[in-house]
Structure 1
Amino acid sequence: MSAAPAPLPPYAAVVLAGGRAARLGGRAKPQLEVGGRTLLARVLDAVADADARVVVGPPQPVPGDVVLVREQPPGGGPVAAMRAGLAAVDTDVVAVLAGDLPFVPAALVTGLRERLTADGVLVVDDAGRDQYLLGVWHTAALRRAVGRTEGPVPVRRVVAALAVTRWRPGRAPGTPAPWTDCDTPADLARARAAAGELGWG
């Protein structure tokens, strides 16, 4: 008999749920609904097994066991948000996800955790683009990287100094990509249509 795989180390999850969503009329994007649930709720479901879940953004409805923190300065961008979220993390491993990913499954987060051998591992989409806000990291390495920055800088520049593994996950034909986000009204409409085809809501 083969030995059972070693359990994965515990992890925390940091979900970035700020931004002004200017292209969506300035509405609170994480609170928009897809398939009868908010975008934020769907992302939090994907990390339901995390030891701690931290949402970074303005005051908004979150479950009682979720920590809500604010980046400094407010609206300071994803790197500032990552820095604020990591300050609330005490596990050695952390998942960092955008708060507008309605189709990210828990299995994908587990797959990332299984592939964490360097400083971090992130998803690569079908076009070969790195999805910087869909990854799992060694907390200390990511904390050092974001701590070296000042002012608004792109996430790609911050993680460029880290040893990062890329993973292109497979998915069933016709299913929405886990990196599908909702930046524009058209994105949101497509996500809602796809959710309807899945029978959500």
Structure 2
Amino acid sequence: MGTYAAVVLAGGAARRMGGVDKPALPVGGRSMRDRVLAAVDDAAPRVLVGPGDGVADGVRVTREDPPGGGPVAATAAGLALLDPDTTLVALLAADLPLLTRAAIGDLLTHLAPAGSSSPVNPGSTTPLAGTGTAGPESVDGVCFVDADGRRQSLCGVWRVAALRTGLARLAAERGGSLAGAPVRGLLAGLAVREVPWAGDGPPPWFDCDTDEDVRRAEEWVR
């Protein structure tokens, strides 16, 4: 699958759940945050953006500026801790308790190595967003889509250079601040391959925004 890094975003306010530390909530006896970090335990480095109490050894921890500034500000903080030669990064929400290494591996097979003009999986029939064709075009990132075609942008793998370009453009458009910026603004203009989940088991992109979501995830992991 090649070398990649991982940035896990864990600084959300969880307003629909009363402002709890949502990534710290257990599913199947393990916090959602730790489940996501375990799904990328072959990534180097792994970066957590958010509260780092009890995080595993070797995970780099930082906070977005300002704290609570949203996923784009958190992405910028996470990328700042990557090694200079990192070319690919899994960008993940911390509330994905059903994420697996197999799912991350599936995403990586759809992304060409840095500098390549062909996807790793040249036989893929997954279209590029906005192009309607699989072709040999180089892509800037891949992410899952749900059964209704909604892009799960924070369950994807991206070229670091493309994300940094997007961050710089968005910061310039917003007077230097990334606080509150939407993820769709960060990814605007990127060539994205959208991948439906075809593996066994529950969808790895399932995120827990409500107490009911957490209960559903608990049922899936039993």
Deviations 1:140-177 (A, max 9, x none): 111111222234221112102111111112033xx321
After TM superposition, the structure 1 = structure 2 runs for residues 58-73 of structure 1, keeping only pairs within 5 Å, are 58-73=51-66
Deviations 1:163-196 (A, max 9, x none): 1111112033xx3211111111111111112222
Distance in 1 separating the partners of 2:219 and 2:194: 29
Given candidates 29, 40, 47, the residue that maps to 1:36 is 29
1:48 is aligned to 41
Q: When the two structures are aligned, how many residues end up with a matched partner?
A: 187
Given candidates 148, 157, 162, the residue that maps to 2:185 is 157
Given candidates 167, 170, 192, the residue that maps to 2:218 is 192
1:93 is aligned to 88
1:108 is aligned to 103
Task: Give 4+ residue runs of structure 1 displaced > 6 Å after superposition.
Answer: none
Unmatched 5+ stretches in structure 2: 113-138, 171-176
2:207 is aligned to 181
Q: For the Cα contact (< 8 Å) 1:120–1:164, is it kept in 2?
A: yes
Could you state the TM-score of these two structures normalised by the residue count of structure 1? 0.89
Distance in 1 separating the partners of 2:155 and 2:29: 23
Q: Percent identity?
A: 51
Q: For the Cα contact (< 8 Å) 2:7–2:48, is it kept in 1?
A: yes
Given candidates 13, 22, 31, the residue that maps to 1:20 is 13
Deviations 1:27-65 (A, max 9, x none): 111110000101011101110000110000134321011
- Structure 2 residue matching 1:148: 3-state secondary structure: helix
Could you state the TM-score of these two structures normalised by the residue count of structure 2? 0.81
